[in-house]
Amino acid sequence: METPTIPGLDIPVRNIYCIGRNYASHAKELGNKVPKIPLVFLKPLGTICYDGSSIQLPKQSSDVHFEAEIVLAITKSGKDISPARVNDHIGGVGVGIDFTARDIQSISKKQGQPWTIAKGFDNFAPISSFTELTPEQDLSELDIKLFQNGFVKQHGNASEMIFPIPNLVTFLSQLFTLHPGDLIFTGTPEGVGKVSSGDQLEVLLNNGEQSLKVTVE
């Protein structure tokens, strides 16, 4: 399989960092405590797919959920990046869906195990094309909506994040050197829900600046 690339930037995907429970309302809807530091997990490269893709539900799960997210693409390496310099390292902004096998995740959480299987099935991280970031762009006003079969199910704004985007990038860069091709899924707002075969999902960034459409098989 060829290494996936980031649409609009044409660079290979390297690491896929994901932030859990970054909206208080979402943490509450799943009965989770609001974290004091960012909750970080990874998704494998095989999860990446693109606008127009079909998402095949895995036979291992009977409860797969959508989680729409604002996604950042890193295009400049950095370690210990200050919040004031974050825009220098983000080459583009798009949207994605962090599909989650909720039944498998629930078992993993009860047993104190990682979420890798629940988050890591093939095509479980579709991404849109990415808009190039301008140095002066305000990352706190990014807006995201998810439609399931034409109905709005999720609507969130980066201003509602527990850990704002600059702080997330700074936090991650204190732990790991960030490299061109790294993607950061920044967390999902409330309204996550189950998908069924035949569902049509659409995610919009800033009411259509970028969009992502996928079909569930």
Instruction: Give pLDDT tens digits along the chain (217 positions).
Output: 689 999 999 999 999 999 999 998 776 777 777 789 999 999 999 999 999 999 999 999 999 999 999 999 999 999 999 999 999 999 999 999 999 999 999 999 999 999 999 999 999 999 999 999 877 788 999 999 999 999 999 999 999 999 999 999 999 999 999 999 999 999 999 999 999 999 999 999 999 999 999 999 9
The pTM of the full predicted model, rounded to 2 decimals, is 0.96
Number of structural domains the chain divides into:
1
Tell me, yes or no, whether 109 lies in a domain.
Answer: yes
Segments forming the whole domain that contains residue 204: 16-216
Q: To 5 degrees, how large is the angle CA 99–CA 105–CA 110?
A: 165
Tell me, yes or no, whether 2 lies in a domain.
Answer: no
Structure tokens, 88: 């220098």
Tell me, yes or no, whether 48 lies in a domain.
Answer: yes
Closest CA to 154 of 98, 103, 196, 72: 98
Listing from the earlier edge strand, what are the strands of the sheet with 54-55?
A: 54-55, 210-216, 200-205, 143-148, 151-157
Tell me, yes or no, whether 44 lies in a domain.
Answer: yes
Tell me, yes or no, whether 9 lies in a domain.
Answer: no
| CATH number for the domain harbouring residue 184 | 3.90.850.10
Tell me, yes or no, whether 181 lies in a domain.
Answer: yes
